Structure 1
Amino acid sequence: MMEIHRSDERGSFRNAWLDARFSFEFGSYRNASRSGYSDLLVLNEDIVAPGMGFAAHPHDNVEVLSFPLSGSVEHRDSTGAREVLAYGDVHLMRAGSGIVHSEMNPSPTEYERHVQWWIRPTHRDARPAYAKRHFLPEAKRDRLCLIAAPDADESALRIDQDVRIYASIVGRGAIRHALAPARRAYVHVLRGALSVNDELLRSGDGAHIEGLSSLMLQADDEAEIVLFDLR
């Protein structure tokens, strides 16, 4: 079974410096049919004005991953981590027992765009932590590149949940992903258009997938996605 959620069906929020889209319930956006999927709790797309962003605020007991698409994001948190992220970077902030962080657009002239997702952790009140990895386009082109997993080596982020997260730039070939029995998947299109088992998805679209043994990803031109292999 595959259930498609179109980009224009997402929740939204806009103010003077932020244009945000919510694939699942977040903030004031309430939709009982979109209250996360398995351990994927939040998937937001944010466009942030120059010099603006999310000032220091707290989180706890959630794994937060950010994936810049254009421009840059400056991250600071109470563990002492300070990083500027750009396209190709992915970071994992383990909120654990409690963390305070900010995410700002450091450019005085350019907008930045990123997606961020939150994963429910296996263990509560873990020690807060921060990690960052960089993934070249070549590592993602025409293949599923593992960016986070519970058993990841140093090439990917180690996440505290039975979730495997992949990024891919799908060209004119086809990519197959096998799903183990009782596993589910969520595919989110970052840019472009592609078919997932012959269902066409465009930028901002997402697909819940369960009860299938494999996924076939195909694009006529080029599309970029993230794929979540979930419990």
Structure 2
Amino acid sequence: MKTVLHKADARGHANHGWLQSYHSFSFANYQNPERMHFGALRVLNDDIVSGGKGFGTHPHNNMEIISIPLEGDLQHMDNMGNSTVIKQGDVQIMSAGTGVSHSEYNKNPDQPVKFLQIWMFPNQENVTPRYDQITINGIKKENEFYQILSPEKDDEGVWAHQDAWFSLGEFNNTTTSYSTHKKGNGVYLFVLSGTVEVAGETLSSRDGFGIWETNTIELKIDNKASVLLMEVPMNF
């Protein structure tokens, strides 16, 4: 078993006034050769956007882009004709493929929007761009992980062009475990809130922890905690 710990206060940080962005991996002006990616997981940005502000139209290609709102309402528009609002309890994915342009704005002028922006290398390039969005409130479970992304179109959650599985979990004073779906995959845990013990480490809010070369991960939660778990191939 191998592990890597990324403490919350060791992340990259960009202050653009209207945007506070915390980078678990190298992004824009934050470049750390020891934090380029975790397997197929390339970007994990923890963003806070001021009221009415946002990202103007910009391009992407050959990347799976997942957005998970944590608070507030995020307005999305793209050149595929999509104009939607995503909010807490939603998950959005774009397969950029051959190329897509989009914008993201805080829909509300009087409150911030907080969301995770996640980029993942695809397992095939130059696919036809696509967009999907789901509400996950109906699949939430107590004290166990529930799946929000997989490689299968008919599976629970959104699907991606990658042998990856994402899960969320809200826990209270319990122990739980997670087993990987595919040999050679690793798991990156990101603690949204609370405290979690895993593989001898105590993780707090916004800490990240990668673990690989093992099939099963045991977690202990003494109080309340919310965790995002991202299982991805490691051969990238």
TM-score band (shorter)?
Answer: over 0.9
Task: Determine whether 1:213 maps to 2:200.
Answer: no
> Does the CA contact (< 8 Å) of 2:139 and 2:146 recur in 1?
no
1:140–1:2 CA distance, 2 compared to 1 (3 A): farther
The C-alpha deviation readout for 1:84-124, integer Å capped at 9, x for no partner, is 11111000011111101011001010111111100111111
Partner residue, 2:190: 188
Count of residues in Structure 1 that have an aligned counterpart in Structure 2: 231
| SS, match of residue 153 in structure 1 | coil
> Does the CA contact (< 8 Å) of 1:171 and 1:218 recur in 2?
no
CA distance in 1, matches of 2:175, 2:139: 16
| SS, match of residue 31 in structure 1 | coil
Aligned residues with identical type, % of pairs: 32
Code of the residue aligned with 2:99 in structure 1: it is: G
The C-alpha deviation readout for 1:63-90, integer Å capped at 9, x for no partner, is 1000011111111111111111111100
Code of the residue aligned with 1:224 in structure 2: it is: S
How far 1:30 sits from its partner (Å)? 0.5
The C-alpha deviation readout for 1:159-213, integer Å capped at 9, x for no partner, is 0001111111122122211235432111111122211234211111101101223
Code of the residue aligned with 2:51 in structure 1: it is: P
CA distance in 2, matches of 1:181, 1:165: 16
Unaligned runs of 5+ in 1: none
Partner residue, 1:70: 71
Partner residue, 2:99: 98
Q: TM-score, normalised by structure 2?
A: 0.93
The C-alpha deviation readout for 1:115-138, integer Å capped at 9, x for no partner, is 110011111111111001111176
The C-alpha deviation readout for 1:1-58, integer Å capped at 9, x for no partner, is 2221100110010022011000001001100110011110000000000000111111
Partner residue, 1:51: 52
| SS, match of residue 149 in structure 2 | strand
CA distance in 2, matches of 1:155, 1:4: 29
Moved over 3 A (4+): none
CA RMSD of aligned residues (A): 1.4
CA distance in 1, matches of 2:131, 2:45: 20
